[in-house]
Amino acid sequence: MSGPAVGTAAAATTTDVVCLGESMVTFLPSQPGRLADVPSFGRGIGGAESNVACALAAAGHRAAWVGRVGADGFGDHLVETIASYGVDTSAVRRDPARPTGVYFRTATDRGTDTHEVAYYRAGSAASAMSPENVPYEALFAGRVLHLSGITAALSPDCLALLRELTAPRPGRPLVSFDVNHRPHLWRGCAEDASVLLELARRADLVFVGEDEAEEAWGIVGAEAIRAALPEPSVLVVKRGSAGATVFASELRPGPRGAEAAAGNAAPGASTDTVSAATPATSADTATPADTVTPVPALRVDVVAAVGAGDAFAAGFLSATLRGLPVRDRARHGHLMAAAVLTVPGDLTDPPSRDRADRLVALDDAAWGRLRLAPGWTAADRAPEEVRTP
Protein backbone atom coordinates (compact mmCIF):
# COMPACT_ATOMS: atom_id res chain seq x y z
CA MET A 1 0.00 0.00 0.00
CA SER A 2 1.37 3.41 -0.96
CA GLY A 3 -0.77 5.64 1.25
CA PRO A 4 -2.65 8.71 0.05
CA ALA A 5 -1.01 10.39 -2.91
CA VAL A 6 -0.93 14.09 -3.68
CA GLY A 7 -3.95 14.85 -5.85
CA THR A 8 -3.63 15.25 -9.60
CA ALA A 9 -5.66 18.44 -9.72
CA ALA A 10 -3.39 20.08 -7.17
CA ALA A 11 -0.40 18.83 -9.14
CA ALA A 12 -1.11 21.49 -11.75
CA THR A 13 0.17 24.17 -9.36
CA THR A 14 3.66 25.56 -9.83
CA THR A 15 4.85 24.81 -6.27
CA ASP A 16 5.25 21.38 -4.70
CA VAL A 17 5.46 22.37 -1.03
CA VAL A 18 4.82 25.64 0.80
CA CYS A 19 6.29 25.86 4.31
CA LEU A 20 5.17 28.48 6.82
CA GLY A 21 6.95 29.33 10.05
CA GLU A 22 9.62 31.33 11.81
CA SER A 23 13.22 31.14 10.67
CA MET A 24 16.00 32.65 12.76
CA VAL A 25 19.67 33.42 12.50
CA THR A 26 21.49 30.80 14.55
CA PHE A 27 24.94 31.12 16.05
CA LEU A 28 26.84 27.84 16.18
CA PRO A 29 29.68 27.40 18.69
CA SER A 30 33.27 27.21 17.53
CA GLN A 31 33.97 24.50 20.12
CA PRO A 32 32.12 22.27 22.62
CA GLY A 33 31.31 23.58 26.06
CA ARG A 34 28.96 25.85 27.94
CA LEU A 35 27.70 28.94 26.20
CA ALA A 36 29.57 30.92 28.85
CA ASP A 37 32.84 29.32 27.74
CA VAL A 38 32.50 29.39 23.94
CA PRO A 39 34.80 32.13 22.59
CA SER A 40 33.17 32.62 19.19
CA PHE A 41 30.25 31.53 17.03
CA GLY A 42 29.64 30.96 13.35
CA ARG A 43 26.49 32.34 11.78
CA GLY A 44 23.91 30.07 10.19
CA ILE A 45 20.16 29.84 9.81
CA GLY A 46 17.63 27.68 11.61
CA GLY A 47 13.90 27.14 11.55
CA ALA A 48 11.95 23.91 11.31
CA GLU A 49 9.81 24.91 8.34
CA SER A 50 12.51 26.74 6.38
CA ASN A 51 14.81 23.75 6.96
CA VAL A 52 12.22 21.53 5.28
CA ALA A 53 11.85 23.97 2.38
CA CYS A 54 15.63 24.17 1.86
CA ALA A 55 16.03 20.38 1.96
CA LEU A 56 13.20 19.87 -0.51
CA ALA A 57 14.60 22.47 -2.90
CA ALA A 58 18.06 20.90 -2.66
CA ALA A 59 16.42 17.58 -3.56
CA GLY A 60 14.98 19.05 -6.74
CA HIS A 61 11.47 20.07 -5.67
CA ARG A 62 9.75 23.41 -6.08
CA ALA A 63 9.56 24.69 -2.53
CA ALA A 64 8.46 28.00 -1.06
CA TRP A 65 8.91 29.44 2.41
CA VAL A 66 6.42 31.96 3.81
CA GLY A 67 7.38 33.85 6.94
CA ARG A 68 7.89 37.26 8.48
CA VAL A 69 11.30 38.81 9.24
CA GLY A 70 12.51 42.17 10.45
CA ALA A 71 13.61 44.94 8.13
CA ASP A 72 17.15 44.40 9.38
CA GLY A 73 20.43 42.79 8.39
CA PHE A 74 19.55 39.46 9.98
CA GLY A 75 16.32 39.42 7.97
CA ASP A 76 18.34 40.11 4.80
CA HIS A 77 20.67 37.23 5.65
CA LEU A 78 17.80 34.82 6.27
CA VAL A 79 15.95 35.57 3.07
CA GLU A 80 19.10 35.55 0.94
CA THR A 81 20.40 32.30 2.44
CA ILE A 82 17.10 30.43 2.15
CA ALA A 83 16.71 31.67 -1.43
CA SER A 84 20.23 30.43 -2.23
CA TYR A 85 18.96 26.85 -1.77
CA GLY A 86 16.47 27.44 -4.58
CA VAL A 87 13.52 28.22 -2.28
CA ASP A 88 10.91 30.76 -3.41
CA THR A 89 10.90 33.54 -0.79
CA SER A 90 8.78 36.02 -2.72
CA ALA A 91 5.92 35.84 -0.19
CA VAL A 92 8.09 36.61 2.85
CA ARG A 93 6.96 39.79 4.59
CA ARG A 94 9.27 42.39 6.19
CA ASP A 95 8.25 44.01 9.48
CA PRO A 96 9.71 47.50 10.07
CA ALA A 97 8.74 47.51 13.74
CA ARG A 98 9.89 44.07 14.95
CA PRO A 99 13.29 42.34 14.78
CA THR A 100 14.34 39.05 13.21
CA GLY A 101 14.76 36.34 15.84
CA VAL A 102 18.21 34.96 16.68
CA TYR A 103 19.49 32.18 18.92
CA PHE A 104 22.70 30.69 20.24
CA ARG A 105 23.21 27.00 21.00
CA THR A 106 25.84 24.59 22.26
CA ALA A 107 27.25 21.74 20.22
CA THR A 108 25.62 18.99 22.29
CA ASP A 109 22.50 17.02 21.40
CA ARG A 110 19.20 18.75 22.28
CA GLY A 111 18.18 15.67 24.24
CA THR A 112 21.09 15.86 26.70
CA ASP A 113 21.18 17.73 30.00
CA THR A 114 24.20 19.76 28.87
CA HIS A 115 22.49 21.22 25.81
CA GLU A 116 21.90 24.97 26.02
CA VAL A 117 19.90 27.24 23.75
CA ALA A 118 19.53 30.98 24.26
CA TYR A 119 16.65 32.37 22.20
CA TYR A 120 16.15 36.04 21.42
CA ARG A 121 12.80 35.77 19.66
CA ALA A 122 10.23 37.36 22.00
CA GLY A 123 8.40 40.04 20.05
CA SER A 124 10.01 38.92 16.81
CA ALA A 125 8.59 39.74 13.40
CA ALA A 126 7.45 36.14 12.97
CA SER A 127 5.47 36.20 16.21
CA ALA A 128 3.26 38.87 14.62
CA MET A 129 1.99 36.52 11.90
CA SER A 130 -1.80 36.32 12.05
CA PRO A 131 -4.82 35.38 9.94
CA GLU A 132 -5.03 39.03 8.90
CA ASN A 133 -1.53 39.56 7.49
CA VAL A 134 -0.41 36.40 5.69
CA PRO A 135 -0.60 35.89 1.90
CA TYR A 136 -3.24 33.15 1.58
CA GLU A 137 -2.85 32.95 -2.18
CA ALA A 138 0.80 31.97 -1.72
CA LEU A 139 0.07 29.59 1.16
CA PHE A 140 -2.53 27.65 -0.83
CA ALA A 141 -0.53 27.65 -4.07
CA GLY A 142 1.27 24.37 -3.46
CA ARG A 143 0.42 20.69 -3.55
CA VAL A 144 1.39 20.46 0.14
CA LEU A 145 1.27 22.99 2.96
CA HIS A 146 3.79 22.12 5.69
CA LEU A 147 3.32 23.50 9.22
CA SER A 148 4.65 22.78 12.69
CA GLY A 149 3.64 23.14 16.31
CA ILE A 150 6.44 25.64 16.89
CA THR A 151 4.48 28.36 15.10
CA ALA A 152 1.45 27.78 17.33
CA ALA A 153 3.58 28.52 20.40
CA LEU A 154 4.89 31.89 19.21
CA SER A 155 1.82 34.00 20.01
CA PRO A 156 -1.97 33.87 20.20
CA ASP A 157 -2.12 35.36 16.71
CA CYS A 158 0.14 32.62 15.37
CA LEU A 159 -2.05 29.98 16.98
CA ALA A 160 -5.12 31.57 15.39
CA LEU A 161 -3.33 31.42 12.05
CA LEU A 162 -2.59 27.70 12.37
CA ARG A 163 -6.19 27.01 13.32
CA GLU A 164 -7.26 28.90 10.21
CA LEU A 165 -4.85 27.02 7.94
CA THR A 166 -5.76 23.58 9.27
CA ALA A 167 -9.53 24.19 9.09
CA PRO A 168 -11.30 21.94 6.56
CA ARG A 169 -12.22 23.90 3.43
CA PRO A 170 -12.55 23.49 -0.33
CA GLY A 171 -9.28 23.83 -2.21
CA ARG A 172 -7.09 23.13 0.80
CA PRO A 173 -3.84 21.42 -0.18
CA LEU A 174 -2.60 18.36 1.65
CA VAL A 175 -1.64 19.64 5.10
CA SER A 176 1.53 18.23 6.63
CA PHE A 177 2.03 18.91 10.35
CA ASP A 178 5.13 18.23 12.45
CA VAL A 179 4.17 18.32 16.14
CA ASN A 180 7.59 19.70 17.18
CA HIS A 181 6.73 20.08 20.85
CA ARG A 182 9.07 22.66 22.40
CA PRO A 183 8.18 22.97 26.12
CA HIS A 184 10.22 26.15 26.64
CA LEU A 185 8.08 27.97 24.07
CA TRP A 186 4.90 27.09 25.94
CA ARG A 187 5.97 28.34 29.37
CA GLY A 188 3.04 29.96 31.10
CA CYS A 189 0.55 28.19 28.84
CA ALA A 190 -1.15 25.08 30.19
CA GLU A 191 -2.87 24.32 26.90
CA ASP A 192 0.14 23.22 24.84
CA ALA A 193 -0.80 19.54 24.87
CA SER A 194 -4.42 20.06 23.86
CA VAL A 195 -3.52 22.65 21.20
CA LEU A 196 -0.97 20.38 19.53
CA LEU A 197 -3.37 17.43 19.62
CA GLU A 198 -6.12 19.58 18.10
CA LEU A 199 -3.90 20.77 15.24
CA ALA A 200 -2.51 17.32 14.54
CA ARG A 201 -5.99 15.83 14.30
CA ARG A 202 -6.89 18.39 11.60
CA ALA A 203 -3.91 17.53 9.37
CA ASP A 204 -3.60 14.95 6.60
CA LEU A 205 -0.02 13.89 7.31
CA VAL A 206 1.48 14.10 10.81
CA PHE A 207 5.02 13.62 12.12
CA VAL A 208 5.48 13.06 15.86
CA GLY A 209 8.23 11.57 17.99
CA GLU A 210 7.46 8.91 20.57
CA ASP A 211 9.35 10.97 23.14
CA GLU A 212 7.41 14.19 22.51
CA ALA A 213 4.07 12.33 22.49
CA GLU A 214 4.90 10.99 25.93
CA GLU A 215 6.09 14.39 27.17
CA ALA A 216 3.17 16.38 25.75
CA TRP A 217 0.28 13.94 26.01
CA GLY A 218 1.43 11.21 28.37
CA ILE A 219 0.91 8.67 25.58
CA VAL A 220 3.36 5.79 25.32
CA GLY A 221 3.87 3.66 22.21
CA ALA A 222 3.08 4.01 18.51
CA GLU A 223 -0.27 2.20 18.65
CA ALA A 224 -1.48 4.42 21.49
CA ILE A 225 -0.42 7.52 19.57
CA ARG A 226 -2.41 6.33 16.56
CA ALA A 227 -5.43 5.75 18.81
CA ALA A 228 -5.18 9.40 19.93
CA LEU A 229 -4.73 10.60 16.33
CA PRO A 230 -7.12 8.53 14.19
CA GLU A 231 -7.95 11.30 11.70
CA PRO A 232 -4.74 11.88 9.68
CA SER A 233 -4.50 9.70 6.58
CA VAL A 234 -0.81 9.17 7.35
CA LEU A 235 0.78 9.24 10.79
CA VAL A 236 4.55 8.92 11.11
CA VAL A 237 5.73 8.02 14.61
CA LYS A 238 9.46 8.66 14.90
CA ARG A 239 11.17 6.28 17.31
CA GLY A 240 14.73 7.58 17.40
CA SER A 241 17.37 4.92 16.77
CA ALA A 242 14.59 2.31 16.46
CA GLY A 243 13.35 3.94 13.26
CA ALA A 244 9.81 5.00 12.41
CA THR A 245 6.38 3.41 12.28
CA VAL A 246 4.03 4.66 9.58
CA PHE A 247 0.26 4.28 9.85
CA ALA A 248 -1.47 4.79 6.49
CA SER A 249 -5.22 4.49 6.09
CA GLU A 250 -7.64 4.03 3.26
CA LEU A 251 -10.94 5.68 4.08
CA ARG A 252 -14.15 4.17 2.86
CA PRO A 253 -16.62 6.59 1.25
CA GLY A 254 -18.10 9.18 3.56
CA PRO A 255 -18.36 12.98 3.86
CA ARG A 256 -14.95 14.60 4.08
CA GLY A 257 -13.76 17.88 5.54
CA ALA A 258 -13.69 19.97 2.38
CA GLU A 259 -17.21 19.08 1.31
CA ALA A 260 -18.54 19.58 4.84
CA ALA A 261 -16.89 22.99 4.98
CA ALA A 262 -18.20 24.37 1.69
CA GLY A 263 -18.33 28.14 1.87
CA ASN A 264 -15.61 28.27 4.55
CA ALA A 265 -12.72 29.14 2.27
CA ALA A 266 -9.80 31.16 3.59
CA PRO A 267 -9.42 34.76 2.43
CA GLY A 268 -7.69 34.73 -0.94
CA ALA A 269 -7.93 30.95 -1.34
CA SER A 270 -9.28 29.49 -4.55
CA THR A 271 -12.56 27.66 -4.07
CA ASP A 272 -12.32 25.66 -7.29
CA THR A 273 -9.03 23.89 -6.51
CA VAL A 274 -9.34 20.21 -5.74
CA SER A 275 -7.44 19.49 -2.54
CA ALA A 276 -5.02 16.59 -2.33
CA ALA A 277 -6.59 15.28 0.84
CA THR A 278 -8.88 16.55 3.54
CA PRO A 279 -9.03 15.70 7.23
CA ALA A 280 -11.77 13.75 8.87
CA THR A 281 -14.39 15.71 10.78
CA SER A 282 -17.02 14.82 13.33
CA ALA A 283 -19.36 14.25 10.39
CA ASP A 284 -17.23 11.47 8.98
CA THR A 285 -18.79 8.05 8.73
CA ALA A 286 -15.76 6.42 7.13
CA THR A 287 -13.80 3.82 9.03
CA PRO A 288 -10.05 3.90 8.46
CA ALA A 289 -8.25 0.62 7.89
CA ASP A 290 -4.59 1.13 8.68
CA THR A 291 -1.59 -0.45 7.09
CA VAL A 292 1.24 -0.33 9.63
CA THR A 293 4.77 -0.15 8.27
CA PRO A 294 7.76 -0.21 10.66
CA VAL A 295 10.94 1.05 8.99
CA PRO A 296 14.27 0.61 10.84
CA ALA A 297 16.64 3.55 11.12
CA LEU A 298 20.18 3.54 9.78
CA ARG A 299 23.36 3.33 11.80
CA VAL A 300 24.91 6.79 11.65
CA ASP A 301 28.09 8.31 13.08
CA VAL A 302 26.40 11.39 14.51
CA VAL A 303 28.11 14.78 14.49
CA ALA A 304 25.09 16.81 15.69
CA ALA A 305 21.45 15.83 16.08
CA VAL A 306 19.91 19.27 15.46
CA GLY A 307 17.78 19.45 12.32
CA ALA A 308 17.43 15.69 11.82
CA GLY A 309 13.67 15.71 12.37
CA ASP A 310 13.17 18.43 9.77
CA ALA A 311 15.35 16.52 7.32
CA PHE A 312 13.34 13.34 7.92
CA ALA A 313 10.13 15.22 7.17
CA ALA A 314 11.66 16.62 3.97
CA GLY A 315 12.75 13.18 2.81
CA PHE A 316 9.34 11.69 3.54
CA LEU A 317 7.56 14.54 1.76
CA SER A 318 9.90 14.28 -1.22
CA ALA A 319 9.06 10.61 -1.65
CA THR A 320 5.36 11.35 -1.10
CA LEU A 321 5.42 13.89 -3.93
CA ARG A 322 6.96 11.20 -6.13
CA GLY A 323 4.22 8.72 -5.25
CA LEU A 324 6.59 6.17 -3.71
CA PRO A 325 5.42 3.36 -1.39
CA VAL A 326 5.22 4.06 2.34
CA ARG A 327 8.34 2.05 3.20
CA ASP A 328 10.36 3.99 0.65
CA ARG A 329 9.04 7.29 1.93
CA ALA A 330 10.30 6.48 5.41
CA ARG A 331 13.64 5.24 4.08
CA HIS A 332 14.12 8.49 2.16
CA GLY A 333 13.33 10.27 5.42
CA HIS A 334 16.02 8.28 7.21
CA LEU A 335 18.57 9.07 4.49
CA MET A 336 17.84 12.81 4.58
CA ALA A 337 18.14 12.71 8.36
CA ALA A 338 21.44 10.83 8.11
CA ALA A 339 22.81 13.56 5.84
CA VAL A 340 22.10 16.22 8.48
CA LEU A 341 23.23 14.05 11.40
CA THR A 342 26.72 13.85 9.88
CA VAL A 343 27.29 17.64 9.71
CA PRO A 344 27.44 20.31 12.45
CA GLY A 345 24.56 22.51 11.25
CA ASP A 346 20.86 22.22 10.46
CA LEU A 347 21.29 22.01 6.68
CA THR A 348 23.43 20.14 4.19
CA ASP A 349 23.29 18.88 0.63
CA PRO A 350 21.28 15.64 0.44
CA PRO A 351 22.51 12.60 -1.46
CA SER A 352 21.73 12.64 -5.16
CA ARG A 353 18.33 11.24 -6.07
CA ASP A 354 19.93 8.32 -7.94
CA ARG A 355 22.10 7.49 -4.94
CA ALA A 356 19.20 7.75 -2.51
CA ASP A 357 16.96 5.61 -4.73
CA ARG A 358 19.66 2.96 -4.96
CA LEU A 359 20.01 2.80 -1.18
CA VAL A 360 16.26 2.80 -0.62
CA ALA A 361 15.94 -0.20 -2.95
CA LEU A 362 18.30 -2.35 -0.85
CA ASP A 363 16.83 -5.45 0.72
CA ASP A 364 16.23 -5.44 4.47
CA ALA A 365 19.51 -7.19 5.28
CA ALA A 366 21.60 -4.80 3.20
CA TRP A 367 19.73 -1.79 4.62
CA GLY A 368 20.51 -3.04 8.10
CA ARG A 369 24.22 -3.31 7.28
CA LEU A 370 24.55 0.30 6.14
CA ARG A 371 26.61 2.59 8.37
CA LEU A 372 26.86 6.21 7.29
CA ALA A 373 29.68 8.49 8.41
CA PRO A 374 30.53 12.16 7.75
CA GLY A 375 31.06 12.72 4.05
CA TRP A 376 28.90 9.81 2.96
CA THR A 377 26.67 11.93 0.70
CA ALA A 378 29.68 12.86 -1.44
CA ALA A 379 31.02 9.31 -1.70
CA ASP A 380 29.99 7.22 -4.67
CA ARG A 381 29.03 4.20 -2.58
CA ALA A 382 29.09 3.21 1.06
CA PRO A 383 31.32 0.17 1.78
CA GLU A 384 28.28 -1.89 2.76
CA GLU A 385 26.60 -0.99 -0.50
CA VAL A 386 29.60 -2.14 -2.51
CA ARG A 387 29.36 -5.58 -0.93
CA THR A 388 25.66 -5.84 -1.77
CA PRO A 389 25.11 -8.05 -4.87
Q: Is 310 a catalytic residue?
A: yes
Residue 295's DSSP bridge partners are 244
Say if CB 209 and CB 179 are below 8 A apart: yes
Nearest to 177, CA basis, from 222, 219, 236, 120: 236
CA dist list (Å): 198 to 7, 15, 166, 185, 225? 25, 27, 10, 18, 13
The helix (H) or strand (E) run that includes residue 192 is helix 192-201
289/261 Cα distance (integer angstroms): 24
Active site residue: 204, 310, 328, 346, which one? Answer: 310
353/240 Cα distance (integer angstroms): 24
Cβ-count burial of 36 within 10 angstroms (0-12 exposed, 13-18 middle, 19+ buried)?
exposed
**Contact partners, residue 23, CB within 8 Å, separation at least 6:** 45, 46, 47, 49, 50, 65, 67, 69, 78, 82, 126
**Catalytic positions, written as ranges:** 310
